Amino acid sequence: MDNEKKIKMLQMIYVGALADSVLRLDREGILLKVTADKKQEQLAEGKLRAAQLGIQRPTQVFSILPEIFGCANWTTEQNNEGFIATATNCMLCGLSKKLETGSPCNIYCLDAMEGLIKGLDESAEYNVISTLWSQNECKVMVKTVK
């Protein structure tokens, strides 16, 4: 098996493990609490995680993470205040819907991205406009210019 196929297989196995954990947390009724606790950790560790991943600019969060995890097809569009990131496909969200779990969006994606962005720029504003869980795209607005 070539390396590209191995990486894709590992990404799919990883997505399956994440979806399974969301399913179990949701069944136990603790998904929302664990998500809230995890968000605080992700915000506190954002600067360190960004450095570990080689992320130097907020827009890179939406290009480097998909390159590593292969989950969502994020694109970014600059504007006068910062940028808007959009994804129209996400393996984790799709699998979680098939398994009828709770939403995996915050615990494994959006909150981690917010932590990375705020780790790079504490004054950045991070607003989730929509998610693939409830709409046809995931859209995040990041304001970096005041």
Query: Sheet of 125-130: strands edge to edge?
Result: 75-79, 82-87, 138-143, 125-130
Length of the chain, in residues: 146
Q: What is the domain partition of the chain in residue ranges?
A: 3-143
CATH, range 3-143? 3.30.1380
Contact between residue 131 and residue 93 where contact means Cβ atoms under 8 Å apart: yes
CA dihedral 114, 116, 117, 118 (to 10 degrees): 80
Tokens 């932590």 identify what position? 115
What is the distance between the alpha carbons of residues 105 and 94, in angstroms, rounded to a whole number?
11
**Neighbour count for residue 146 (Cβ, 10 Å):** 8
Looking at the predicted structure, is the pLDDT value of residue 11 above 70?
yes
Segment 85-94, tens digit of pLDDT: 999 999 999 9
Q: Report how far apart the first and last C-alpha atoms of the chain are (Å, whole number).
A: 50
DSSP state of 132: T
Separation between Cα atoms, residue 43 and residue 63, nearest integer Å: 19
> What local confidence, expressed as pLDDT, does residue 18 receive?
96
Hey, what are 50's tokens?
């960004």
For 101-124, write each residue's pLDDT tens digit.
Answer: 999 999 999 999 999 999 999 999
**If pLDDT is split at 50, 70 and 90, which confidence band does 146 have?**
low
3-state secondary structure of 126: strand
Query: Hunting for tokens 């991070």 — which residue is that?
Result: 126
Q: What is the pTM of this model?
A: 0.93
pLDDT at residue 70 tops 90: no
